[in-house]
Amino acid sequence: MVTLSEVAKRAHVTAATVSNVLRNREKVRPETAERVLKAIADLGYRPNLNARALAEGRSSTLALMLSNISNPFYPEFVLAAERAARKAGYFLMVCNTDDDAEIGRAYLNQIAGTLADGVLVMNTDIAINDLCASATHSAPILLAMWEHPETPPELPCIAVDFARAGELAAQHLLELGHREVGLLIGDGCGGLQDARSNGFRATMRAAGVEADTAAVLQIRDSIDAGYAACMQLMAVRPFVTAIFATNDLLAIGAAQALITLGRAVPDDVSVIGITDIQLAHQVHPALTTVAIQTAEIAELSIESLIRLIQAPERQPSMVIGPPPQLVVRASTGPCRRR
Amino acid sequence: MVTLSEVAKRAHVTAATVSNVLRNREKVRPETAERVLKAIADLGYRPNLNARALAEGRSSTLALMLSNISNPFYPEFVLAAERAARKAGYFLMVCNTDDDAEIGRAYLNQIAGTLADGVLVMNTDIAINDLCASATHSAPILLAMWEHPETPPELPCIAVDFARAGELAAQHLLELGHREVGLLIGDGCGGLQDARSNGFRATMRAAGVEADTAAVLQIRDSIDAGYAACMQLMAVRPFVTAIFATNDLLAIGAAQALITLGRAVPDDVSVIGITDIQLAHQVHPALTTVAIQTAEIAELSIESLIRLIQAPERQPSMVIGPPPQLVVRASTGPCRRR
DNA sequence: GTGAAAGCGCTAACAC
DNA sequence: GTGTTAGCGCTTTCAC
């Protein structure tokens, strides 16, 4: 490995000068700089980022902790987060906790403050308390996609108004004339998706439609689970004219179940989800959903985290993310019943 | 930040002893060790991994470079790779090159040999030559999923017999009696999927079925593209009884297109893909495909890379991955024509 | 067993 | 402008 001092030697200067060339070139006389740059090129010098991190006291790396990257929502978030981080001069380290709080805690302890200058946490496999404890004696931790704007957590967060997303979904179904609706509620780690279903139900109730408890299923987040749950739902409540799922995976699974059952979507039954993952528009019929603007949230999260690193004090403890937006596609239509 | 020497001071020993305790050298007297451990706990000490990396000359981090994590294949690979890395005591840094060779090269230059002890490259946005150049003066680089076992690259690689995967797909369709088949060939970065289609065509040809060139479409890797291409294909060659796609995304898109066109899958047209991504079994009808054993390949890649780091010499330059396997599901059936 | 000391490659005062 | 110097936090000989 070629080091700074080897470059220095070859350019007949000292390490300090080489370092100066590498960062603030103003201090260095052009001809010296040129000699140094030539030495760098000749030797194929590449700075050792660990040494730099140690000396600077910062690693220029951000960590993103998420439970399981195989949920298609995460890759989309990761992609946007990585771009934002790169643009700001940071690396992004993706830490999969594999749905295991123990692994999450281990990662946090090892990484925060050493390998990473700040940590973005996507969900709470890890108890908030643990996160707080870690945050106090190491690097800033930011919760991305906090679901409850009305009750800020102990940690700084990006809040997303998921209740509003539920409302929008409900309004859309109500406008289409649906009154008998099935609900598929994803678990998303510790009842995370309550806000969505509560927002939905509150809006329905305001319109005089009470949720039929037998038509409310609480399930794991996946297409499979959505499919199975929808099958079960249609067996018990064959007369629902619409299905609301708290996320797109469930909704996609549900739509497929309906088609398998010979129920046309949306002619017989409408389906609506929340999130607007890529799959939502690639599936047929394309899914109507409430977009939460994943990429924007990812960027906002990264930017907020960086601000938090640079000026830990005087940062808002909660940043409100972009408002959810209804995206009407082909899976919802007017209620044909009666 | 609590440092080693603070711990040492509190335990009335020196940094060397604390370090010995941390790496359970047997040198330390139990009572001393206990005192040290107590000090560590009291102070909440956590080692600075950058300092350790600098001192040890290794970072215990592996990098995984891929073009775009939003292709659902990658998250599955990442998940398995991350598990394998963690099990071996390494962190995994996921580097999204965003389909941009420039970004890829920049990552490689910055990371290889400093932040990462070794690099796994998933595709060749970056020219093999660049990779070789980088490999020689920094950390080992391993190509995961090399598609051409018959022509080993300059770099160590995990080879996957994709031609065989194509063969298996062809055999399956032939056995079902299909003779008029459409081909959807994904681009996967620089004609990466040629081996698959060549294997497929060779097998078909051996059975006396020549590819109808109008029924061969070369397209981008995505559900959307598969959908569009299939639409186009069916317009030109409405009589095909089966469609082979070089990857599952295309196949899934194709199946949806067929359903949209009112062609039953598999009763009117069979569809088969390659890879066996998770989506393949979650979609309805579930996709028949040739599994390449993504998780196994990921593990193998990580293990090989680690071996390469530990003993750069005398490692096989090409490791053959697990053989592809046909997975029959619901999207293929006997040819009904005539 | 434990400590002293050197050094990993870099940055950042501060002299000159 | 450039060099000198002193670390960053840790590991690792090598004395004792």
Q: Give per-residue pLDDT as tens, A321-334.
A: 999 999 999 999 99
Nearest DNA or RNA nucleotide to B3 (CA to C1'): D9
**CB distance A243 to A270 below 8 Å:** yes
Is the Cβ pair A282, B49 closer than 8 Å?
no
Q: Is the previous residue joined to B285 through a cis bond, with omega within 30 degrees of 0?
A: yes
Contacts of A50 in chain B (CB under 8 A): 50, 53-54, 59, 114-115
Indicate whether A232 pLDDT > 90: yes
Do the strands B141-146 and B91-96 form a parallel or antiparallel pair, or are they unpaired?
unpaired
Q: Cβ of residue A13 near strand D, that is under 7 Å?
A: yes
A190: pLDDT confidence band, cut at 50, 70 and 90? low
Q: d(Cα A25, Cα A65) in Å, to the nearest integer?
A: 37
Is the Cβ pair A49, B83 closer than 8 Å?
no
What is the spatial distance, in angstroms and rounded to an integer, between the CA atom of B139 and the C1' atom of D5? 32
Do the strands A288-291 and A270-275 form a parallel or antiparallel pair, or are they unpaired?
parallel
State the Cα torsion B2-B83-A64-B50 to the nearest 10°: 30
Q: d(Cα A134, Cα A113) in Å, to the nearest integer?
A: 10
**CB distance A282 to A76 below 8 Å:** no
Lowest mean pLDDT among A140-144, A307-311, B134-138: B134-138
Q: Cβ of residue A28 near strand D, that is under 7 Å?
A: yes
DSSP string, A161-191: -HHHHHHHHHHHHHHTT--SEEEEEE-TTTT
Confidence (pLDDT) at A189: 54
What is the spatial distance, in angstroms and rounded to an integer, between the CA atom of A50 and the C1' atom of D15? 31
Q: d(Cα B294, Cα A62) in Å, to the nearest integer?
A: 28
- Out of 2.60.40.10, 3.40.50.2300, 3.40.50.300, 3.40.1160.10, the CATH code matching B61-161+294-323 is 3.40.50.2300
Confidence (pLDDT) at A214: 84
Q: Nearest by CB to B70, which of A50, A53, A76?
A: A76
Q: What is the largest CA-CA distance in chain A?
A: 90
Which H or E run includes A291? Answer: strand A288-291
- Chain C positions with a protein C-beta closer than 7 Å: 1-5, 7-13
Q: d(Cα B247, Cα A116) in Å, to the nearest integer?
A: 36
Domain ranges of chain B: 4-47, 61-161+294-323, 162-292
Do the strands B325-327 and B288-291 form a parallel or antiparallel pair, or are they unpaired?
antiparallel
Q: d(Cα B257, Cα A72) in Å, to the nearest integer?
A: 22
Length of chain A: 338
Nearest DNA or RNA nucleotide to A5 (CA to C1'): C9
Q: Cβ of residue A25 near strand D, that is under 7 Å?
A: no
Nearest DNA or RNA nucleotide to A46 (CA to C1'): C9
Is the Cβ pair A94, B94 closer than 8 Å?
yes
Confidence (pLDDT) at A225: 95
Which H or E run includes B159? Answer: strand B157-159
Beta bridge partners of B288: B272
- With H, G, I as helix, E, B as strand and everything else as coil, classify residue B199: helix
A205: pLDDT confidence band, cut at 50, 70 and 90? very high
Indicate whether B189 pLDDT > 60: no
Confidence (pLDDT) at B103: 93
B8-64 confidence digits (pLDDT tens):
999 999 999 999 999 877 788 999 999 999 999 999 999 999 999 999 999 999 999
Helical H segments across chain A, by residue range: 4-10, 15-22, 30-43, 49-56, 73-87, 101-111, 128-136, 162-175, 194-206, 223-236, 248-260, 278-282, 294-310
Q: Could you tell me the two tokens for B74?
A: 């990658």
Distances (CA, A) of A11 to A29, A34, B36: 13, 9, 46
- Out of 3.40.50.1100, 3.40.190.100, 3.30.479.10, 3.40.50.2300, the CATH code matching B162-292 is 3.40.50.2300
Indicate whether A296 pLDDT > 80: yes
Beta bridge partners of A94: A64
Residue nearest to nucleotide D13 (CA to C1'): B16
A81-103 confidence digits (pLDDT tens):
999 999 999 999 999 999 899 99
Residue nearest to nucleotide C2 (CA to C1'): B17
Is the Cβ pair B113, A86 closer than 8 Å?
no
Q: d(Cα A17, Cα A23) in Å, to the nearest integer?
A: 10
Is the Cβ pair A279, B223 closer than 8 Å?
yes
pTM of the model: 0.95
Contacts of B138 in chain A (CB under 8 A): 1, 46
- Helices then strands, counting H and E runs in chain B, come out as 13, 12
Domain B4-47 CATH superfamily: lambda repressor-like DNA-binding domains (1.10.260.40)
Is the Cβ pair B48, A68 closer than 8 Å?
no
B123-173 confidence digits (pLDDT tens):
767 888 888 888 887 899 999 999 888 888 999 999 999 999 999 999 999
**CB distance B187 to B221 below 8 Å:** yes
Q: Cβ of residue A27 near strand C, that is under 7 Å?
A: no
Q: d(Cα A67, Cα A95) in Å, to the nearest integer?
A: 8
- Check if A61-161+294-323 and A162-292 are the same fold: yes
Residue nearest to nucleotide C11 (CA to C1'): A55
Q: Nearest by CB to A79, which of B61, B68, B253?
A: B68
Confidence (pLDDT) at A211: 83
Distances (CA, A) of B198 to A244, B61, B115, B212: 45, 37, 39, 14
